[in-house]
Structure 1
């Protein structure tokens, strides 16, 4: 076995510029001395997602890597990379926005980048509570991936999933505790139709995000 010399004070956040990954960004900033971001360009539905990620990284003065993963969009048809497909749920209950092997590949490449940057902690915003039926957002997958990465690269990476057991209401609460609720509400992109902030209000991502925010604000006696 090689000596594990990964730096415990550094963290790498898998970052899309959406609500969840931006919450993870600020969660990481509150816990680690140095935070780096990695965004994957896989031909997603809107280039705006990459632009938002770059803007937020710049505003937060964080090192930001954008990796070309365009091959992913060639492997299987899905509504996140094929703009002609309407967003829908398949007979097996998995939405056609599911990109097979996406998180498998993202975490593998995040691990390779962390290896090169001497970073021990890798953070991803996947969530099993509101996971939209995506199998690669489950806790069991992340735990198995952590073991696989450590064996493959002979390092002791730690995969953090701070949102794993939070629903969207609780995720908004966490952002408020971190002092960035308004920033995340106004500056992030979750909408499948590429509208920043409150979004289109019609797509499944917007419904989930808005319902959670409405529920959280209600606990504070506030309205959306």
Structure 2
């Protein structure tokens, strides 16, 4: 059996880094992107463009029901993007990673792939409960039981901060590619983004830290 993997792919920094990681680890890589009514819809085009350029099989699945069930700043323009004071920020989408992994698992099984890769990270998880390692391990067991299939969920970035994620991209020789071609910005601006939303600030701060670290090493 071919050593296949399915990458949950948004076209952002983290998932693109994971895509390159998977391309080094597995014989065949498939990417799956979810359309859940996100306000930064350009990420769907961004994901399609990257996978097309890299020659990766790509699927876009309709998950618009999430928009109906979980009002949040990522799907509703009338909700402001704010940091959470006593809980997750307004960009948190309830159950998103649970659903994404489950549907990616169904796709993977039909494709004969047992490996699932997601860019979730507990180090910079912003209070999102479904980015925690304990959740991923629990869901892995549940999916294996539910589908009677030996899934292995990989989280290459789980214990990385953003600086270390940039370092991984650089180790693949892909730092500038990821910096230029990915979309992380909540306001839908490719590359370095708007510079003011929480996602852009986290991304840029990580890049600054990594670049300073790299200069010191020189």
Regarding TM over 0.5, the answer is yes
- Residue 151 (structure 1) aligns with: 145
Unmatched 5+ residue regions in structure 2?
Answer: none
Distance in 2 (CA, whole Å) between partners of 1:169 and 1:41 is 28
**Any idea what SS the aligned residue of 1:67 has?**
strand
More helix by percentage: 2
- Do 2:5 and 2:117's aligned partners in 1 also have CA atoms closer than 8 Å? yes
1:42-86 CA deviation, whole Å, 9 max, x = no partner?
Answer: 001121010000000101000000000001100021000001111
- Residue 98 (structure 1) aligns with: 92
- Residue 76 (structure 1) aligns with: 70
**Any idea what SS the aligned residue of 1:119 has?**
coil
Give the number of aligned pairs: 216
Equivalent of 1:216, from 206, 210, 217?
210
**Any idea what SS the aligned residue of 1:12 has?**
strand
Alignment of 1:1-224 (within 5 A): 7=1, 9-221=3-215
Distance in 2 (CA, whole Å) between partners of 1:111 and 1:76 is 22
Structure 1 vs Structure 2 CA RMSD: 1.0
**Any idea what SS the aligned residue of 1:195 has?**
coil
Q: TM-score, normalising length from structure 1?
A: 0.94
- Do 2:2 and 2:27's aligned partners in 1 also have CA atoms closer than 8 Å? no
Distance in 2 (CA, whole Å) between partners of 1:46 and 1:163 is 23
Distance in 1 (CA, whole Å) between partners of 2:6 and 2:177 is 21
1:187-210 CA deviation, whole Å, 9 max, x = no partner?
Answer: 000001100000000000000000
**Any idea what SS the aligned residue of 1:220 has?**
helix
195-204 vs 82-91, greater mean Cα deviation: 82-91
- Do 1:8 and 1:121's aligned partners in 2 also have CA atoms closer than 8 Å? no
- Do 1:127 and 1:164's aligned partners in 2 also have CA atoms closer than 8 Å? yes
